[in-house]
Amino acid sequence: MIDGIDRSILRHLREDGRMTATALADKVGLTVAPCHRRLRELESSGVIRGYRADIDPAALGLGFEAIVFVTLRTVDRPTVSDFEERVAALPNIVEAQRLFGSPDYLLRVIATDLPGYQRFYDDQLAALPGVERLQSTLVMKNLKPNVGPPV
Per-residue pLDDT of 73-92, as tens digits, reads 999 999 999 999 999 999 99
Higher pLDDT, 147 or 47: 47
pTM: 0.85
Burial class (CB in 10 A: 0-12, 13-18, 19+), 28: buried
Look at residues 75, 84, 88, 71 and name the one whose alpha carbon lies nearest to residue 135. 71
Any bridge partners for residue 110, and if so which? 65
Indicate the SS3 state at residue 41: helix
CA distance 119 to 109: 12
Contacts for 111-116: CB closer than 8 Å, 24+ residues apart: 111/62, 111/64, 111/65, 111/66, 112/61, 112/62, 112/63, 112/64, 113/63, 113/64, 114/64, 116/64
Model confidence at 54: pLDDT above 90: no
Mean pLDDT, the chain, whole residue set: 95
Find out whether 132 and 125 touch, Cβ atoms under 8 Å: no
Q: What is the pLDDT, as a whole number, of residue 1?
A: 87
Q: What is the pLDDT, as a whole number, of residue 22?
A: 96
Find out whether 106 and 96 touch, Cβ atoms under 8 Å: yes
- Residue 145 — pLDDT band, cuts 50, 70, 90? confident
- Residue 140 — pLDDT band, cuts 50, 70, 90? very high
- Residue 149 — pLDDT band, cuts 50, 70, 90? confident
